[in-house]
Amino acid sequence: MNSQVRLNGRYYSVNDRGTIDVTERYNTDQYMRGGPAAWAIEEPMPEVTGIMVHHWAGWFGPVLNSYASPELELQRLDALADFHSTAWGIGPGYNLVAFPSGRLWAVGKHGTHRAHTKGRRPLSAPPDGPRMKWNYVGRAVVAAGNWQDEEPPQLLVDALRDGVQEIRSWPGVSPTANVYAHRNVPTVSMNGTLLNQATLCPGEKLLPHMNIIAGVGGRTPEAGIPEVSGDAMLALLDEHDAALDDVVAGMSEIRDAVVKLRGARVKMQGLLL
């Protein structure tokens, strides 16, 4: 049975897992450019096939520890929501936020298009489905703070694990959904070209904890292994081969130009002697 917590004069629901639900706080015109309807995922909602683990890479204020109050954490969530809504039109961009206190907050509604992971999943045809944006077919839990150089406390790791399990309980989430560290999310562009997430997220010190965070039934695929069909992979390799041919041809032209320049230099040195 859900309970409630009172924060700054307003009551918020707390589920059986202890997750504080503040999604209605941010499901407003203030934090969603164009209004909530503009960010709703059309029915039938596509199956969720990825769960992404992120970190903020910052604090939006002084570092918080395990003794931080819920009120202070809510202030940071507001700051995050302001930043994301200004930058990407929706804030916060994630679904769940975990803090070093061990608290887990629900901030982004399950049925809305968020802003946490660029690109599309590398699935191309039925029965796998279309190459849909990860922000539609992925859900995200984020660790508050920067865990590139600092070791995350166990309470935070536990909260991230609980966040993954929370997402798995949502309707429409595949029971075999992969759990990815943000940097390792296999990604393609609209036309199927492989992309790199180009990020250190969720931080070097958090990566060794990914198996714990993934939990029972979770998988943490190796970076760069795309989930594509054999035909799609061959097509991608053909594209890469063509690109390499262009590079080699360009290098040959550069080499010829260097040879000519060296010859000209030798002639110039002869004239100056």
Position 268 scores a pLDDT of 53
**Confidence (pLDDT) at 131:** 77
So what's the pLDDT on residue 259? 55
* pLDDT tens readout for residues 189-229: 888 889 999 999 999 999 999 999 998 544 444 433 333 34
Residue count of the chain, please give it: 273
In this prediction, residue 250 has a pLDDT band, given cuts at 50, 70 and 90, of low
C-alpha 186/C-alpha 195 separation (Å) is 8
- pLDDT of 2: 82
Radius of gyration for the chain, computed over Cα atoms and rounded to the nearest angstrom: 24
DSSP state of 150: S
The long-range contacts involving 34-41, CB below 8 angstroms and separated by at least 24 positions, are 34/89, 36/112, 39/90, 39/112, 39/113, 39/114, 40/111, 40/112, 40/113, 41/111, 41/112, 41/113, 41/136
Predicted confidence (pLDDT) per residue in 65-74, tens digit: 999 999 999 9
pLDDT tens-digit map of 87-135: 999 999 999 999 999 999 999 999 999 999 999 998 754 445 567 899 9
Percentage of the chain beyond pLDDT 90 is 68
Question: What pTM does this model have?
Answer: 0.78
Looking at the domain that runs over 3-228, which CATH code has it been given? 3.40.80.10
**What gap in Å lies between CA 181 and CA 227, rounded to an integer?**
16
9 to 5, 67, 71, 81: CA distances (angstroms): 10, 21, 11, 20
- For residue 272, pLDDT over 90 is answered with no
pLDDT value of position 215:
87
Q: How far apart are CA 157 and CA 212, in angstroms?
A: 8
Is 82:91 a contact under the CB 8 Å cutoff? Answer: yes
pLDDT, greater one: 1 or 215: 215
The confidence score (pLDDT) of residue 147 equals: 97
pLDDT digits (tens, 9 = 90+) for 38-58: 999 988 899 999 999 999 998
